[in-house]
Amino acid sequence: MYQPINFAHKFSLFTEQWQPKVIAEMNDYQFKVVKIHGDFVWHSHPETDEVFIVLEGALRIDFREGEVWIKPGEMYVVPRGVEHKPYAGVETQLILIEPRGVLNTGHEGGERTAVNDVWI
């Protein structure tokens, strides 16, 4: 009945990129795993901050006035309303923490918009 969530196991259950999968909820927040590679789209989340935790690979988050690099074992919080664009030169495994219902592309939409609330 009581089982820990194993990140490696969860990442082994899917191969697609830029499609976050929910692995847990705490209050109104979801913990999501996602694999990424390449460029994402410029977007923002006007209503909420967004947490990126890198487990494997490396993530660069571009901002209009700079960038931040996040390595395995590191995290970064993008403040609400700040326009950003994630990028990964190699396949990178992340944990995202954000409120339930937040679209990965914010209000930008487009082909990179993932279906929300997909649990694994």
pLDDT tens profile 61-72: 999 999 999 999
Structural domain total, the chain:
1
Report if residue 65 sits inside a domain: yes
d(CA 69, CA 60): 4
pLDDT score for 1 = 87
Q: Is residue 117 part of a domain?
A: no
Per-residue pLDDT tens for 97-107? 999 998 888 87
* Residue 2 included in any domain: no
Residue 69 domain boundaries: 7-99
- Tell me, yes or no, whether 90 lies in a domain: yes
In a domain, 28, yes or no: yes
pLDDT for the residue numbered 112: 80
> Do the strands 84-99 and 50-56 form a parallel or antiparallel pair, or are they unpaired?
antiparallel
Put simply, whether the predicted model's pTM sits higher than 0.85 gets the answer yes
The one-letter amino acid at 14: F
In tens, the pLDDT along 19-77 reads 999 999 999 999 999 999 999 999 999 999 999 999 999 999 999 999 999 999 999 99
Provide CB contacts within 8 A for 93, sequence distance 6+: 7, 11, 33, 34, 35, 54, 55, 56, 57
For residue 113, tell me if it sits in a domain: no
CATH (domain of 83)? 2.60.120.10
Residue 81 placed within a domain: yes
